[in-house]
A and B are shown apart, each in its own frame.
Chain A
Amino acid sequence: MLEIKNLAVSYGAISALHGISLSVQAGNIVTLIGSNGAGKTTTLKTISGLLKPKSGEIFYDGKNIAGLPPHEIVARGLSHVPEGRMIFSNLTVLENLHMGAYLVRDKKIVRRELEFVFATFPRLKEREQQIAGTLSGGEQQMLAIGRALMSQPKFLMLDEPSLGLAPLLVKTIFEKIVEINRERSLTILLVEQNANRALEISHFGYVLETGKITLSGDSASLRQNPQVKSAYLGG
């Protein structure tokens, strides 16, 4: 479904990704793990069009989308839940969700998606009219994911959904990710520092180190890999 070839990205003179290649099969959860500054967020931002690649290609459904503006990429069915959630704190919960459906013209579809999001995250329904900035961290993460789902994506990118959340909430969020993947047959690219959990729920994984992919494999085998174990799974 998604195929990245030799993608290189730099911030001015500083190179962040040195030609990475990876692929994501339709219906899978694929995770990208690595330490801080490895280039995980850069990868997602480049796929969603927030950053322009220096070189390389990003094929989505066979078409090169590298360098397109973000709004055209969303229109093709890729949705990105950015790091730090980036919800619109000045809008209500409902307005945030409607922003997610910005490109959906059919009001019936918007209503149906809204129901799905509220069914998945009942908490958001309770807070519908509240200003989003007043939500707790966990609720904001739910809102960010819900908002991304409103665009009816076929491909969802999640950047550190567990960041800053209490362990119990982390568990809920990961369960929801699996649920969304199964129920909507939504393909997911998950970036996580919490490698343990990410490898638990994903089908395939890539390890990113200072802008290069150093390891890849199905998640079960990566969890057994001694290198991964010592570097990311705490021994």
Chain B
Amino acid sequence: MTEFFQQLINGLAFGSILALIAIGYTMVYGILRFINFAHGDVFMLGAFAGFYLAPKIATVFPLPSIAGAIAVLIVSMLICAALGVAIERLAYRPLRKRPKLTVLITAIGVSLFIEYAGQFFFGAAPKKFPDILPVLPITKIGGLSLNSNQLIVLAVTLILLVALRFIVMKTKIGTAMRAVSFNPEAAALMGVNTDVVISFTFALGSALAAAAGILWAVNYPSIDPLMGILPGLKAFVAAVLGGIGNLPGAALGGLIIGVTETLVSGYISSTYRDAIAFAVLILILLVRPSGLLGKKEIEKV
């Protein structure tokens, strides 16, 4: 039983990171109806932003420290938010009125571009992510050994999800995001500059991906320019699983994939670990084609 809970916590920590990435996929889909395949690479850029920032931030806040780690997290999020806006501006906006397939293929191109530009600038060899968080002694609660980094992943994810929910549900720009995702023409008639809302969506999604990148690097400190591919793909699966376009769905999907994958590799075989996400996806889509929390798109005339 203890082992099960241990695996569950590992799975939830991994799933939280997937959830943060998945939200970016689902938000962009909700507004533009296309999959931003470069999103997983923004996750990688988040980790690298942290890697290069850490020595600079260490001059202000000595690292490892909580304050320093928060500074690294926030600055990486800001950098990736700006990068996300730039990607949309340069690659996707010129194709706004083109068929969705054109944009989708461009997204794959952007993804490859970032991955190989990353190899060019950062080098292809894996790098060791610096220790930005003080390593706290492992706490034991009834036989369970809780790693402080995992608890931090869960806490940061929770805080970010609550903040996101507040932005989307309670603020003016969040209401505009929901309006644009329902009907961009009608939102424009209300005076909403849809370009601004789209940029904001990319900024928000990319910032969350950056946070995921930092959390990932804190737990698995080896980072390389191709590290975004597999988590990106799994997060995409998580978004589809939860119902693409649905924010709570993306979070739920991430947790389900994370937990299932960890349990399967713990109890059955770790060889099949990477196939689990897709197996779960196929199973759920057979029963619920629009995802767990997704709604069928009905047009009311």
Contacts and interface: CB of A to CB of B under 8 A. Distances in A.
Q: Tell whether A and B belong to one assembly.
A: yes
Interface of A: 48-50, 69-71, 74-75, 79-80, 82, 84, 86-91, 95, 98-100, 102-103, 133, 147-148, 151
Contact of B189 (A74, A84, A90): A74
B178 interface: yes
Contacts of A50: 185, 188-189
Contacts of A79: 189
The listed residue with most A CB atoms (<10 A of its CB), out of B182, B187, B190, B192, is B190
A91 B189 contact: no
Closest 9 CB pairs of A and B: A86-B186, A103-B191, A74-B191, A70-B188, A102-B191, A71-B193, A102-B190, A99-B190, A71-B191
Interface string B130-158: 00000000000000000000000000000
Given A98-B175, A99-B175, A102-B172, A71 B182 contact: no
Contact of A100 (B172, B183, B190): B190
Contacts of B207: none
The listed residue with most A CB atoms (<10 A of its CB), out of B176, B185, B189, B300, is B189
A69 B190 contact: no
Given A71-B191, A71-B193, A151-B190, A99 B176 contact: yes
A100 B193 CA distance: 13
Contacts of A98: 172, 175
Contacts of B300: 89, 133
B301 interface: yes
Contacts of B190: 74, 99-100, 102-103, 147, 151
Interface of B: 172, 175-176, 178-179, 181-183, 185-194, 300-301
A84 B182 contact: no
A151 B187 CA distance: 12
B182 A88 contact: yes
Contacts, number: 69
Contact of B193 (A69, A88, A133): A69
B179 to A, nearest CB: 5
Contact of A90 (B182, B185, B194, B301): B182
A48 B191 CA distance: 10
A89 B297 CA distance: 12
A86 B188 contact: no
A102 B176 contact: yes
B182 to A, nearest CB: 5
Nearest to B175: A95
Contacts of A70: 185, 188-189, 191
Contacts of A80: 189
Contacts of B301: 84
Contacts of A89: 182, 300
B232 to A, nearest CB: 28
A91 B188 contact: no
A88 B189 CA distance: 12
Contacts of A86: 183, 185-186, 189
Contact of A91 (B182, B191, B192): B182
Contacts of B185: 50, 70, 82, 86
Contacts of B181: 90
Given A84-B301, A86-B183, A71 B192 contact: yes
A95 B193 CA distance: 17
Contacts of B188: 49-50, 69-71
Contacts of B189: 48, 50, 70, 74, 79-80, 82, 86, 148
Nearest to A50: B185
The listed residue with most B CB atoms (<10 A of its CB), out of A71, A91, A100, A151, is A71
Nearest to B173: A102
B190 to A, nearest CB: 5
A15 to B, nearest CB: 20
A60 B127 CA distance: 61
